[in-house]
Structure formats: C-alpha cells, structure tokens
Amino acid sequence: MALSISHLGYNKLSQAIFEWQAADRTSLLASFMVMEVSLHWLWCLFVWWRRDVYDTYVDIGLLYPLWFGVTLVALFLLWMTTHFSPIKKNNRNLYKWQGILITVYSVYIAIVILVLGHSSLVAGVSLVGGAMLGMMLIRRRYVWRAFLGHVAIILAVTFIPYFGVTLPNLRQMTLTVVPLDTYSYINYSEMTMIENAISASIFKNGTLHWDSVNQLRRSSAFFWRSTHIYMALPKAIFIIYMFRILLLILDDSKKEILQHANQDELTQLKSRRYGLTQMKQVLKSVEDHQDISIILLDLDWFKDVNDSYGHEVGDRVLVEVAQTLLQSLTDETIVSRYGGEEFLIVLPDTTHDTAMIIAEQLRRVIAKHVITVDDSIIFSVTASLGLYTLTHDERTCIKQACETLNKKEAAQSLAKPQRIRSYSSKHGSRQTPTAQLPHDICQRLICMADKALYEAKDCGRDQVVSANEMLAENNTIAALYGT
C-alpha cells in the first residue's frame, strides 16, 4: 500500500488505526522510522561537511562507520516499508518481520545513544515515545519486549564504563589539563559539568556578552546540546502530535458510541435504554410537590402499513411521527422509542389533567398528519395512548412503604444469632437506608401506562385512556360491592 506521509492527517491516521490491516500499519511504522533515521543521516552529512570546524570535539574517524551504519539501516527500513504488502494474509510471516523490524530499530537507537554520548533527553523520547507509538501500530508484545531490552542496554551503557570498559563515543574534547582524574569514558552528565566549568571560566564574571557569542558557538557544549535537541525534539513533537490526534479519534469514537447507544438510529429519538435512564434521573431529582406523568403511545394497525406499503414506507411513518412528537412537546419532555411502533413519553412536573390534555393533542396531531408516499399513495395513521400520573401523594406513600420494609429488614437482621451481631459491631453497624423509591419504579409506572394502552386498544383505538381513572373506577366498584 502506497503511503503518503505528507497527507497523513486526522482522517488518514484514524483510518490507519481502526481500519488498516496489520501489514499496512507495520509499513506505516517503518516509514516513521525512515523519517527519523533520515534526520540522523543528515546530521552525519552536516558534521562531515563542517569537519574542519567540528573535528575538535567530534571523533571524525568514528563518524564514518556510524554514517555507513545509518545508511544501511535507512535502506533496510525503506525496503521494509514496501515489504509487508505481499504478506498481508500470512500472519506468521508478518509477526516475524514485525519482530525483526522492532529489534533492528531498538538496537540502532541504543547504538546512536551510545556513540552520541548518553543523553537522557534522547533516551527518554526513544524509550517512552517510541514504545507508545509502536503499540499503536504493531503487535504490543513485541514492543514491550523491545522496550525492556532497550532499558537493559541503556543501563549497561551507563554502568559498564565504571568497570574500566571503554565504549565508543563521538564526543571528544581537547583540553590542556584534565580537571578530574576520571576514566577515559565520560558520560553525558559528567561531560556537561566539566564543560560548564570551562565555559564559566572563559567568560568574564561567568556572564555571556554579545561579543562572546561566536566563542560560545564554537564550544563543544553548545554543539552537543544542539545535537541532542535535534535528535529528540522533532521526534517528541511528532509523537505528541500523533497522540493528540489519537485522543481526538478516541473522543470522536466515544461520542459516536454514546450516540449509537443513546439514540435510536431510525427516528433519531432517544433509545429505550437511554430514555429509561433519563426517566430514573427525573424520578430521583423530582421535588416533593411535583407530579410525573408517563405516556405510552402505540401506532394503530402499523403491521397493515408494513404489509400494504412495505417496510420502507413503515420506517418513513415512524420517522414522521417521531418528528411530530418532537415538534409538539417541550425540550424538558423525554421522548424515546420504546420498541417497534411504540413510544415512551415522560412529562416531568406535569399533573394528570395537564398530561391528559397533552396526550389528546398528540392523538389529534398524529391523526391529522398526512403521509405522502407519491402522488397515488396518501394515507394517515392513528395512535392509541395510555397515561399514568404518579402524584406526589402516591410517591410519598411508596417511600413510606419502602421505609417500613427497610425497618422490618433491619429488625430481622438484629434478631440473627449473636455471632453475626458481634461481627457487625466489630466492622461497624449497618445503617438503615434512607427511604427512597424502589429501583424498579420505572417499570411499575410503565406497566400502569401499558395497561391503560391495552384498554385504549380494546375500546376501539385512536383514543387516550388514563390508568389513574381506571384505578379510581376499580376502587369505586370495589367499594360499592364491598370487596
């Protein structure tokens, strides 16, 4: 697969992470490695070109083999970018070449860090940033092993010189007197300390004046610090950019997941699960003096619409009815598709009489709405609605019943054997929960509205029936007959 780094923006990277095959992602990682190694190659070219200036504190004899090795690695990685396409369907070979790729790169970076003089900046960016970038694109197991191996190499490079072993290093200084009796190998921190002392002795009173800028530019400290920044900063910026894009991708994915979970794909109303969740939130936050009304709306003879005109027309009917509901109700109203041709409407802080008026208005608006398929097919649908209002008095009674039940359960727990009571007292006494609505209160309310809906269907459809009125009528009849 052809890769265009210059056009690797947000959409391309999103596609690479979530849609590309493993071989293409591996090829992309190899391309990133080629970019980094190319920067190293250009540094070698620059030092060679200005060798008459930098040969004082750069070992030119060691630069040539390093430059040759960088060239070989660059060519190998460039070949690897195009090698993965033929093995897209062969996971065994793909994983083998992924292991080779990450091993070659890890050893290469360790050698670069060694010969440039151990720099915590370059090592840190290579360790953390490189590992995290690799885990985005190739098999994480290989990246983790390479990370541990890289750590081991860096620790070895750090401590081996203290055992008298001389390691190759491009850094060199020409000093008349060596200020410290130390090993022939000087790590980055020690070299920086020595150079800082030398630089401070060069400038009057330890301060830098404009007339001494050229002298500082020629110093070894400035050159090597610039080198380490050159080696680490572009890679760090690139990795931060990649992870910024990744976070944007994750944010968009989260929004998309929530949208699919919380929104019905066809009608764009709230989904059943999300509608019930918001209904529970309303029940928790409602004030003591407020009523809550629930409406279940079901389209009449909707199966006949699907059978006569097809499911595509049936879907169109659902969409138009959903839009009608949204346009007829306030923003505070919770409207969700409860299932099939059934809709759940939650009216916070709405009395029974007001809810009956709203339900009747919805019934009339839906009945008047004309569905136009084409010039020859024009029809309308009707709806049956079941309504139930949970008044604040009923809600108080339910809470008191729950409180009584909680007290009874607490009394039963106190009556258990002494051994259990002692365990409770040892670990803290169990408090009686505060009275609240039962966890299944939503289903209870919907069940009441559903009974009213079935009554509306049995009575001829295209009408509104109140569960509260049904209960009141049943109570009246029971009182008359003494049952």
- Ordered DSSP codes for 254-282: HHHHHHHHHB-TTT-SB-HHHHHHHHHHH
Range 75-82 average pLDDT = 84
Give the residue, 104 or 14, on which the prediction is more confident.
Answer: 104
Least confident of 17-31, 277-291, 301-315, 362-376: 17-31
| Gap between the Cα atoms of 324 and 326, Å rounded | 5
Supply the pLDDT for residue 417.
56
pLDDT class of 27 with cuts at 50, 70, 90: confident
Question: And the tokens for 96?
Answer: 């083998």
Top mean-pLDDT range of 353-362, 386-395, 432-441: 353-362
Q: Among the three residues 196, 224, 258, which one is the final residue of a domain in this structure?
A: 258
Q: Both 412 and 277 in a single domain?
A: yes
Q: Among the three residues 226, 258, 290, which one is the final residue of a domain in this structure?
A: 258
Q: Both 52 and 157 in a single domain?
A: yes
| Gap between the Cα atoms of 131 and 139, Å rounded | 11
pLDDT class of 123 with cuts at 50, 70, 90: confident
Supply the pLDDT for residue 143.
86
Closest CA to 362 of 412, 315, 322: 322
Q: Both 287 and 236 in a single domain?
A: no
Q: Both 290 and 186 in a single domain?
A: no
Give the residue, 54 or 280, on which the prediction is more confident.
Answer: 280
Q: Both 279 and 247 in a single domain?
A: no
Counted domains in the chain: 2
Q: Both 304 and 203 in a single domain?
A: no
Round the average pLDDT of the chain to a whole number and report it: 77
Residue recorded with tokens 């499911």: 311
| Gap between the Cα atoms of 332 and 264, Å rounded | 18
Range 277-303 average pLDDT = 89
Q: What digits encode the pLDDT tens for the residues 217-261? A: 556 677 777 888 888 888 888 888 877 877 777 777 777 777 777
Q: Both 286 and 223 in a single domain?
A: no
Supply the pLDDT for residue 475.
74
| Gap between the Cα atoms of 474 and 98, Å rounded | 75
Q: Is residue 264 in a domain?
A: no
C-alpha dihedral (244, 246, 251, 255), degrees to nearest 10: 150
Structural domain boundaries enclosing 170: 5-258
Amino acid at 215: Q
Q: Is residue 265 in a domain?
A: no
Supply the pLDDT for residue 196.
56
Q: Is residue 263 in a domain?
A: no
Q: Both 140 and 288 in a single domain?
A: no
**What φ, ψ does residue 316 adopt, rounded to 5°?**
-65, -40
DSSP three-state, residue 442: helix
What angle do helix axes 10-18 and 130-137 make, rounded to 10 degrees? 60
Q: What digits encode the pLDDT tens for the residues 452-474? A: 999 999 999 999 999 999 988 87
Spacing of C-alpha 141 from chain mean position: 22
Question: Which stretches of 184-258 are assigned E, i.e. beta strand?
Answer: none
Supply the pLDDT for residue 1.
41
Q: What percent of the chain has pLDDT over 90?
A: 25
Q: Among the three residues 258, 281, 311, which one is the final residue of a domain in this structure?
A: 258
Is residue 177 within 8 Å of residue 124, measured between CB atoms?
no
Supply the pLDDT for residue 260.
76
DSSP three-state, residue 378: strand
Range 207-217 average pLDDT = 50
Q: Both 141 and 280 in a single domain?
A: no
Question: And the tokens for 216?
Answer: 């500082």
Q: Both 68 and 117 in a single domain?
A: yes
Range 327-356 average pLDDT = 93
Supply the pLDDT for residue 17.
57
Is residue 335 within 8 Å of residue 348, measured between CB atoms?
no
